[in-house]
Amino acid sequence: MQTPKAPLSWDEYFMLQAMMASMRSKDPSTKVGSVLVDENNHQISMGYNGFIAGIDEAKLPWSKDLNEGLENTKYAYVVHAEANAILHSTRSLENSRCYVTLFPCNECAKLIASKKIKEVIYLSDKHQDKEHTIAAKKIFDLTGIKYRPLRIGENLLQLLERHLKNQVEDL
Ligand SMILES: [Zn+2]
Protein backbone atom coordinates (compact mmCIF):
# COMPACT_ATOMS: atom_id res chain seq x y z
CA MET A 1 0.00 0.00 0.00
CA GLN A 2 1.23 3.47 -0.82
CA THR A 3 1.84 5.91 2.01
CA PRO A 4 -0.51 8.87 1.64
CA LYS A 5 1.32 12.01 0.53
CA ALA A 6 0.64 15.39 2.09
CA PRO A 7 -0.91 17.68 -0.52
CA LEU A 8 1.59 20.36 0.47
CA SER A 9 5.39 19.97 0.46
CA TRP A 10 7.48 21.63 3.18
CA ASP A 11 8.86 24.03 0.58
CA GLU A 12 5.36 25.05 -0.47
CA TYR A 13 4.19 25.25 3.13
CA PHE A 14 6.96 27.62 4.19
CA MET A 15 6.74 29.74 1.06
CA LEU A 16 3.02 30.17 1.73
CA GLN A 17 3.96 31.20 5.29
CA ALA A 18 6.35 33.79 3.84
CA MET A 19 3.58 35.00 1.52
CA MET A 20 1.24 35.29 4.51
CA ALA A 21 3.89 37.27 6.40
CA SER A 22 4.18 39.67 3.45
CA MET A 23 0.48 40.48 3.89
CA ARG A 24 1.40 42.13 7.20
CA SER A 25 3.59 44.71 5.45
CA LYS A 26 2.24 48.25 5.28
CA ASP A 27 4.60 49.23 2.47
CA PRO A 28 2.29 50.47 -0.30
CA SER A 29 4.58 49.33 -3.13
CA THR A 30 6.64 46.30 -2.09
CA LYS A 31 5.37 43.71 0.36
CA VAL A 32 7.95 41.06 1.25
CA GLY A 33 7.71 38.22 3.75
CA SER A 34 10.27 35.76 5.07
CA VAL A 35 10.41 32.76 7.38
CA LEU A 36 13.43 30.98 8.86
CA VAL A 37 13.22 27.22 9.25
CA ASP A 38 15.51 24.74 11.02
CA GLU A 39 16.73 21.34 9.84
CA ASN A 40 13.69 19.64 11.42
CA ASN A 41 11.27 21.80 9.44
CA HIS A 42 10.35 23.84 12.49
CA GLN A 43 9.74 27.51 11.89
CA ILE A 44 12.19 29.66 13.86
CA SER A 45 10.85 33.12 13.11
CA MET A 46 9.14 35.32 10.54
CA GLY A 47 9.50 38.86 9.30
CA TYR A 48 8.14 41.33 6.81
CA ASN A 49 9.39 44.68 5.58
CA GLY A 50 8.37 47.55 7.79
CA PHE A 51 9.55 50.55 9.72
CA ILE A 52 11.86 50.12 12.71
CA ALA A 53 9.98 48.47 15.61
CA GLY A 54 8.74 50.85 18.27
CA ILE A 55 9.01 53.99 16.17
CA ASP A 56 6.07 56.35 15.50
CA GLU A 57 5.25 55.25 11.95
CA ALA A 58 3.11 58.31 11.30
CA LYS A 59 6.29 60.40 11.35
CA LEU A 60 8.05 58.39 8.63
CA PRO A 61 7.68 58.63 4.84
CA TRP A 62 6.80 55.85 2.36
CA SER A 63 8.27 57.87 -0.52
CA LYS A 64 10.63 56.10 -2.93
CA ASP A 65 11.86 59.31 -4.59
CA LEU A 66 15.55 59.66 -3.77
CA ASN A 67 15.54 63.14 -5.33
CA GLU A 68 13.83 64.23 -2.10
CA GLY A 69 16.91 63.16 -0.16
CA LEU A 70 17.41 59.82 1.61
CA GLU A 71 16.00 61.07 4.92
CA ASN A 72 12.68 61.79 3.18
CA THR A 73 12.34 58.30 1.71
CA LYS A 74 11.37 54.92 3.16
CA TYR A 75 14.82 53.55 2.37
CA ALA A 76 16.28 55.25 5.43
CA TYR A 77 13.84 53.60 7.85
CA VAL A 78 12.50 50.31 6.50
CA VAL A 79 13.88 47.04 7.84
CA HIS A 80 13.69 44.27 5.25
CA ALA A 81 11.73 41.04 5.80
CA GLU A 82 14.79 38.76 6.09
CA ALA A 83 16.51 41.21 8.44
CA ASN A 84 13.42 41.31 10.67
CA ALA A 85 13.18 37.51 10.68
CA ILE A 86 16.85 37.33 11.71
CA LEU A 87 16.39 40.03 14.37
CA HIS A 88 13.35 38.25 15.83
CA SER A 89 15.12 34.93 16.12
CA THR A 90 16.25 33.98 19.62
CA ARG A 91 18.33 30.97 18.62
CA SER A 92 21.18 29.95 16.37
CA LEU A 93 20.41 30.13 12.66
CA GLU A 94 23.32 27.96 11.61
CA ASN A 95 22.23 25.55 8.83
CA SER A 96 18.71 27.00 8.73
CA ARG A 97 16.82 27.84 5.54
CA CYS A 98 15.43 31.24 4.62
CA TYR A 99 12.18 31.38 2.63
CA VAL A 100 11.58 34.80 1.16
CA THR A 101 9.12 36.17 -1.39
CA LEU A 102 11.74 38.39 -3.08
CA PHE A 103 15.42 37.65 -3.68
CA PRO A 104 17.45 39.25 -0.83
CA CYS A 105 19.40 42.46 -1.33
CA ASN A 106 23.13 42.60 -0.55
CA GLU A 107 22.51 44.11 2.91
CA CYS A 108 20.30 41.17 3.89
CA ALA A 109 22.71 38.76 2.19
CA LYS A 110 25.42 40.04 4.57
CA LEU A 111 23.22 39.15 7.56
CA ILE A 112 22.20 35.77 6.08
CA ALA A 113 25.84 34.87 5.47
CA SER A 114 26.99 36.12 8.88
CA LYS A 115 24.34 33.97 10.58
CA LYS A 116 25.48 30.92 8.54
CA ILE A 117 22.03 30.29 7.07
CA LYS A 118 22.67 27.53 4.54
CA GLU A 119 20.00 28.02 1.88
CA VAL A 120 17.75 30.73 0.47
CA ILE A 121 14.51 29.77 -1.29
CA TYR A 122 12.83 32.64 -3.11
CA LEU A 123 9.62 33.31 -5.02
CA SER A 124 10.53 36.32 -7.18
CA ASP A 125 13.82 37.46 -8.64
CA LYS A 126 12.38 40.51 -10.39
CA HIS A 127 15.35 42.70 -9.43
CA GLN A 128 17.90 40.24 -10.84
CA ASP A 129 19.55 42.92 -13.00
CA LYS A 130 19.98 45.37 -10.14
CA GLU A 131 23.34 45.84 -8.45
CA HIS A 132 22.08 44.89 -5.00
CA THR A 133 20.87 41.50 -6.30
CA ILE A 134 24.06 40.83 -8.25
CA ALA A 135 26.10 41.66 -5.14
CA ALA A 136 23.83 39.44 -3.01
CA LYS A 137 24.45 36.48 -5.35
CA LYS A 138 28.18 37.15 -5.16
CA ILE A 139 27.99 37.02 -1.35
CA PHE A 140 26.04 33.74 -1.49
CA ASP A 141 28.43 32.22 -4.05
CA LEU A 142 31.50 33.18 -2.01
CA THR A 143 30.06 31.80 1.23
CA GLY A 144 28.61 28.61 -0.32
CA ILE A 145 25.01 29.53 0.45
CA LYS A 146 22.67 27.76 -1.96
CA TYR A 147 19.75 29.60 -3.51
CA ARG A 148 16.89 28.35 -5.64
CA PRO A 149 13.56 29.62 -6.91
CA LEU A 150 10.27 28.05 -5.86
CA ARG A 151 7.14 28.43 -7.93
CA ILE A 152 3.72 28.38 -6.32
CA GLY A 153 1.47 26.97 -9.04
CA GLU A 154 -2.12 27.83 -9.84
CA ASN A 155 -3.13 24.28 -8.81
CA LEU A 156 -1.81 24.81 -5.31
CA LEU A 157 -3.59 28.15 -4.98
CA GLN A 158 -6.86 26.52 -6.02
CA LEU A 159 -6.28 23.65 -3.60
CA LEU A 160 -5.58 26.13 -0.82
CA GLU A 161 -8.66 28.18 -1.60
CA ARG A 162 -10.86 25.05 -1.54
CA HIS A 163 -9.27 23.90 1.71
CA LEU A 164 -9.74 27.26 3.45
CA LYS A 165 -13.32 27.63 2.22
CA ASN A 166 -14.17 24.12 3.45
CA GLN A 167 -12.76 24.90 6.87
CA VAL A 168 -14.70 28.16 7.16
CA GLU A 169 -17.90 26.49 5.97
CA ASP A 170 -17.44 23.72 8.56
CA LEU A 171 -17.69 26.22 11.42
ZN1 LIG B 1 17.29 43.39 2.07
| pLDDT tens for each residue of the chain, 171 residues long | 677 777 899 999 999 999 999 999 999 999 999 999 999 999 999 999 999 999 999 999 999 999 999 999 999 999 999 999 999 999 999 999 999 999 999 999 999 999 999 999 999 999 999 999 999 999 999 999 999 999 999 999 999 999 999 999 988
Catalytic: 82? yes
8 CA to centre of ligand 1 in angstroms: 28
Pair 61, 27: CB distance under 8 Å: no
Catalytic residue among 82, 107, 119, 161: 82
Give dist(CA 34, CA 44) in Å, integer: 11
Q: Name the DSSP class of 40.
A: T
- Spell out which residues have Cβ within 5 A of ligand 1, the ion: 80, 105, 107-108
